[in-house]
Each structure stands twice: as structure tokens, then as C-alpha cells.
């Protein structure tokens, strides 16, 4: 999964209609609702303020709105862009100023997805990495081998205490955790 580094804006123009695409890093539905409300207030003459968002990493929540555009021509293409890039905790909003020329369903779909894609280009993408916490107490004789395995799996030490034994906690990427534990257990079994 990925998210964005920062808020970004991009203007897509098609047949005199302006589609102002904006993306925002967000955490909650309430934050999304407030941003959409503020944008409606900021753009009172806009014909449509459409949005799509994806929230969460473990449990995913999605929502979209066509805001009066023909069904499936605005919110769905915007949400499709977010899904295609595996983005979460992102709100995409497109403010449309109508230029007087109808675009048809294909044109609207293309315009809304292009506005969001353009905004994402300069937002910067961050990969979300989930971690597992590993904690252990072990003898000093194992420390160098355990440190080798920690580095091999890109683990990050959280805390290490040296007393009668070494007590350590570390963060290991979830995708590597099972293999990490297997290798640690092999060291403990051998000693």
C-alpha cells in the first residue's frame, strides 16, 4: 500500500471546462468531509465538486461522489485511480467549472481521472510498510549473530538493555517477520 507525501493540485482543461484536481493526505472520514465542505465554500460558482477517498490500512473504507454528474463518470474514475496506485489515506477532489460544451460520459470519465492523476504526479508517493514488534532476552554470546539477522531483515532497534542478559525490542517489516523469526529460532536452537 502507498499514500501521498503532500497536498497537490493540477488543472485539466477539456472543451473549455476546467477540472481542478486536488489530492490530500488524510486519516479520517471527518477530515475528508471537512475538506470537501471547505472546497465547496471556496468554489461557490463551480458546477460540481466530486470526490473519492480510501482510508485505512488494515480495514479499508472507500467513498465517492459524482455530485450531480452522470452516474459513474466522476467519483468512480477518481476512485479507480486511487485503487490502481494502491493509495490509502488519500482524498481526491475535482472541482469542475463547466465551459458550456458537453463532454459525454467517456469525456467526463477521462477528465476526472486525468485531473486526479495529474495531481498525484507532484504529490509524491510514499510506500506504507507495516511492522511487527519482536522482543527477546538472550545471552551476550548470541548478540552479534542476532544483530546480523536484524540488519539482514532491515529491522530497526527500538530499545536494547545490557544487564545480566541482553533485552531487546525491534521493528521488523511484517512481510519479512515469519522468515526473521525462523532464522532467530534456528540460532536459539543451535546454542
pLDDT at residue number 101: 85
Query: Do residues 24 and 117 share a domain?
Result: yes
Query: Do residues 46 and 109 share a domain?
Result: yes
Query: Do residues 61 and 155 share a domain?
Result: no
Number of domains in the chain: 2
Grade residue 191 by pLDDT with cuts at 50, 70 and 90. low
Q: In the structure grid, which three cell numbers stand for residue 179, read together?
A: 522468515
Query: What mean pLDDT is predicted for residues 78-99?
Result: 96
Chosen domain end from 87, 108, 127: 127
| Most confident residue range from 47-56, 138-147, 153-162 | 47-56
**Percentage, residues of the chain above pLDDT 70:** 99
Query: What mean pLDDT is predicted for residues 117-122?
Result: 95
Q: What is the pLDDT of residues 36-55, one digit of tens each?
A: 999 999 999 999 999 999 99
Containing structural domain, residue 153? 131-190
pLDDT at residue number 190: 64
In Å, what is the CA distance from 128 to each residue of 36, 41, 82, 124, 168?
25, 33, 14, 13, 24
Query: Do residues 123 and 135 share a domain?
Result: no
2, 125 in Cβ contact below 8 A? yes
User: How far is it, in rounded angstroms, from Cα 67 to Cα 180?
Assistant: 49
User: Checking phi first, is residue 112 left (phi over 0); if not, alpha (psi -120 to 50) or beta?
Assistant: alpha
Q: In the structure grid, which three cell numbers stand for residue 126, read together?
A: 510514499
Query: Do residues 38 and 80 share a domain?
Result: yes
**Percentage, residues of the chain above pLDDT 90:** 83
Residue 187's CB: how many other CB atoms inside 10 A? Answer: 14
pLDDT at residue number 71: 93
Amino acid at each position: 500500500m502507498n499514500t501521498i507525501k503532500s497536498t497537490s493540485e493540477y488543472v485539466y482543461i477539456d472543451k473549455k471546462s476546467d477540472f481542478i484536481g486536488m489530492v490530500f493526505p488524510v486519516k479520517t472520514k471527518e477530515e475528508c468531509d471537512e475538506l470537501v465542505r471547505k472546497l465547496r465554500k471556496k468554489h461557490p460558482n463551480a458546477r460540481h465538486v466530486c470526490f473519492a477517498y480510501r482510508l485505512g490500512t488494515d480495514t479499508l473504507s472507500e467513498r465517492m461522489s459524482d455530485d450531480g454528474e452522470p452516474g459513474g463518470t466522476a467519483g468512480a474514475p477518481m476512485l479507480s485511480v486511487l485503487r490502481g496506485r494502491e493509495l490509502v489515506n488519500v482524498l481526491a477532489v475535482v472541482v469542475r467549472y463547466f465551459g458550456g460544451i458537453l463532454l459525454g460520459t467517456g469525456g467526463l470519465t477521462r477528465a476526472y481521472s486525468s485531473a486526479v492523476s495529474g495531481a498525484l504526479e507532484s504529490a509524491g508517493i510514499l510506500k506504507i510498510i507495516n511492522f511487527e514488534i519482536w522482543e527477546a532476552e538472550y545471552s551476550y554470546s548470541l548478540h552479534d549473530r542476532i544483530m546480523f539477522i536484524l540488519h539482514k531483515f532491515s529491522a530497526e532497534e527500538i530499545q536494547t538493555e545490557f544487564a545480566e542478559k541482553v533485552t531487546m525490542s525491534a521493528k521488523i517489516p511484517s512481510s519479512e517477520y515469519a522468515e526473521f523469526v525462523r532464522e532467530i529460532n534456528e540460532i536459539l536452537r543451535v546454542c
